Amino acid sequence: MPECWDGEHDIETPYGMLHVVIRGAPKGNKPAILTYHDVGLNHKLCFNTFFHNEDMQEITKHFVVCHIDAPGQQIGASQMPQGYQYPTMDQLAGMLPSVLQHFGFKSIVGIGVGAGAYILAKFALIFPELVEGLVLLNIDPNGKGWIDWAATKLSGLTSAMPDTVLPHLFSQEELVSNTELVQSYRHQINNTVNQFNLQLFWNMYNGRRDLEMNRSGTVLNAKTLRCPVMLVVGDNAPAEEGVVECNSKLDPTNTTFLKVQNKKHPVKLTEAFKYFLQGMGYIAYVKDRRLSGGTVPSASMTRLARSRTASLTSASSLDGSRNRACTHSDSSEGVAQVSHTMEVSC
């Protein structure tokens, strides 16, 4: 990939143009890290803080990073014309192969939040050969019932878009407290995202169908994600029940469930992502910052690394096999139990 591709691009896909931002250049045969933001946000609002912290930059220097903005959601986007048919969730997932082909990416490790997590999971179900691993934050695999859909539709007609979207992003407690973070998001959603375009994306997300996946053995011809998955949810997050249900639909031998306190979210997520990549064999070691006076990885994160590394080394090959041996299940007390999804609380 030419160095000049580092920057912003508009990529033509079968379902319209897609705004993409590339950071860095491909490193050998490593997959690209591809991000997809939540509804109400764009790649800058959703991922800037996470990708600009020092520890994350230590990771991303080994990878090319590809940020996706859903159609019309990027900062400065022109308003979609009246009558524009926004892509369905399936079509949004179907736009991604054009991006990979354009830049020559053979595969990705995806990081998705909310609606973006749903889109990346859909992408992995349709194109499993293109996805090496997924980090899915606050994913809800369920479609809305018609009563919920109608209530959401009515809310969108009677409320400003920031007030419609914020309950999707924050817990009721945070909204009532009207924290500084909530105020900041309300301001940025109102001022940096085109409100008409946001309404189109919001309506399409709320009209989504259930993700068609089930754990093997639970239904006839069950289909689920084949790649390693790390599910992440914050304390009291609106999507907590959805993430738990998603966990029940995934293969327990290659799934990690991570619940973090919101105030620790960026630090713990970065730490967990390091170990996730290490377990897949893409980072040879995780730097121990005790030597430089930094914070020491928590015990739960150390257990995560050991579980994912054991899973990798017991697979039939380092780079070809997607069949992982059993990972461990960690309770908050650190008691391990074989062949269950590993759960870590931080």
What's the pLDDT score for residue 4? 54
Do the domain assignments include residue 151? no
pLDDT at 236: 80
Looking at residue 154, its pLDDT comes to 54
Q: Tens digits of per-residue pLDDT, 264-291?
A: 567 788 999 999 999 999 886 545 443 3
* Total domain count, the chain: 1
Q: Which of 68-72, 196-200, 316-320 has the lowest mean pLDDT?
A: 316-320
Higher pLDDT, 145 or 126: 126
With a cut of 50, say whether residue 190 has pLDDT above it.
yes
Among 243-257, 296-310, 328-342, top mean pLDDT goes to 243-257
Does pLDDT of 322 surpass 60?
Answer: no
Confidence of residue 83 (pLDDT cuts 50, 70, 90): very high
Confirm whether 57 is domain-assigned. Answer: yes
Q: What's the confidence (pLDDT) of residue 217?
A: 74
Residue 181: inside a domain, yes or no?
no
The reply to whether 299 falls in a domain is: yes
Residue 201 lies inside a defined structural domain of this protein: no
Lowest mean pLDDT among 69-73, 118-122, 191-195, 342-346: 342-346
Give domain status of residue 155, yes or no.
Answer: no
285 in Cβ contact with 278 (< 8 Å): yes
Q: Is the pLDDT of residue 130 over 80?
A: yes
CATH number at residue 127: 3.40.50.1820
Residue 327, in any domain of the structure: yes
pLDDT tens-digit readout, 134-169: 999 999 999 875 545 455 555 555 469 999 999 999
- Containing domain of residue 219, as a range? 3-144+209-345
Higher pLDDT, 294 or 218: 218
pLDDT over 80 (residue 241): yes
pTM score, two decimals? 0.82
Instruction: Determine, yes or no, domain membership for 258.
Output: yes
